[in-house]
Structure 1
């Protein structure tokens, strides 16, 4: 197992050890990294899609269970923030698993993360279409309509992402 570089002044050498030249001034502190990590994995992503189901099946106790889940998510966010501080490279779980384990483990983590993100984006967009947009717009509940709206939302998300890559590149 390789030793991750320490945070702080040595983080520039960690970037160079990854084969990159330090070009940008990094100004994220520990709280900012924690906030980004928490927002990325936050339980709030699924709250609105499952709110009625929780109330129907668990009643008011279900709301208190969200607090338990929030504490667990906070602990996970702290771990992710610690990784980000110690290994300041892009690549998320691939980079971390490759350096803390070995490149084969990193490859699997990278593919699992890709699959998770591919599924999560579609699921969140579908929930947005069927649970939020259609009721607000007064559209009758229909799964085919929700699928079309989901595809439109995915397209609306893809166009700026592709354009921004070309502009930044």
Structure 2
């Protein structure tokens, strides 16, 4: 969960489902914050016979609060990102995941290989590109690209993905 902080500090709360290490790398330069996620592979210390082979959970959740006005860049492999009333410029670069931006209030760039994007925005210039798949805007399908230029736009939204994209009246609802 990505939120604005009420203080001038970056606040991170991590909830992990296993005892292995999870890393959240935070780099701050001037007015920009870069956040990277790394989940270590589960390694068995000794081989244990089990009647049913199961894969151990490799999940963690984090609440990240960022001061207003800071540009945020999120980088990860298999992660989900959700924002709540986030007012900062945002860039998300992930390989696979679900991105729930709720209401976009600043310029946003999302690049992902596979996954879904959900967002709502008003008064935005929008560009959606899908290398394979369809883009659906208000029940109309577009091949590979959708653009909407707003003359008085206060923000830009750029979404790039390999698969499908869906847009409904400034509501962007994702890729599969």
Between 1 and 2, higher relative CO (CA 8 Å, sep ≥ 6) is seen in 1
Which is higher, the Rg of structure 1 or of structure 2? 1
The interval holding the TM-score normalised by the smaller chain is: under 0.3
Task: State the TM-score, normalizing by the size of structure 2.
Answer: 0.22
Bigger proportion of residues as strand: 2
